[in-house]
Amino acid sequence: MALTETAFAKINLALHVRKRREDGYHELETLFAFVDAGDRLTASPAAEDTLRTIGEFASALTDPFDNIVMRALGSFPRSDGLDVALEKNLPVAAGLGGGSADAGAIFRMVERAHGLPDDWRARAAKLGADVPACVESRTCIGRGTGTDLDAADDSLANMPVLLVNPRIPLATGPVFKSWDGVDRGALPEGDARTIALEGRNDLEAPAISLVPEIADVLAVLRGTEPFLARMSGSGATCFALYETHSARDEVAARIAADHPDWWQLKGKLR
């Protein structure tokens, strides 16, 4: 029997970079949220694990044998395999945790089929800092490298969201390398709405220095009177939250007409 999961797009409603660690990683404080849309994975029983990629951004995954989906499948000892079809709807290197979300979907498939071991969070963290959050795909606060998670309230649940990307991939490493190293303070306290509004993304400026088109996307989104518009993660995807679906849809239609070369995705927060 086939299993199907959505790899929900991850966005960072706020992302505070506190310091560079001795291990080369950075100490972070972030408010994770997830959109009710993303990549789509379908898995069927097979003699061994296999992966097929389809969809708009499938060609960006140049080495399917090193794909994080295959590594996620290898995180669990199993007697059977899975033939996985990955419909890649999210752009790659886009600040949406696409690969981490795909891995998170695999973990949820394994949970449905076999259950997860008690140490699943440690197994997920070995695949990437965003993966533990992506397994649960719920609004939460991440600390450390992003793997130390605390629950957040649902004050932003179901809020309409629009994702926009100028179709320029942006790797995480160069963005962190361009960060100026200034600690601008901790994540605000309060509910998710307060943290999102009063927070910031410390990677926005370094990302714009590498991909100036991000500033163009933000200028357009911030000119539409959203509840909040900000860059997600290390970019180049930006998001805008709206109080109503009609407001979001009007903006999406306008951007599609004015900037047909930009990628966009409509959804709502989970």
Which residues participate in catalysis according to the annotation? 10, 130
In whole angstroms, give the CA distance from residue 102 to residue 132. Answer: 12
111 and 83 Cβ atoms separated by less than 8 Å: no
**DSSP strand E in 88-200: where?**
140-144, 148-151, 160-165
Block residue for tokens 């361009």:
178
Closest by Cα among 110, 95, 92, 98 to 43:
110
Rounded CA-CA distance 240/262 in Å is 15
Question: 247 preceded by cis ω (within 30°)?
Answer: no
CA distances for 196 relative to 30, 130, 140, angstroms = 10, 18, 12
Show the tokens assigned to 16: 């505070």
Amino acid at position 156, single letter: L
159-174 in b/e form (b: 16+ CB < 10 A) is bbbbbbbbebebeeee
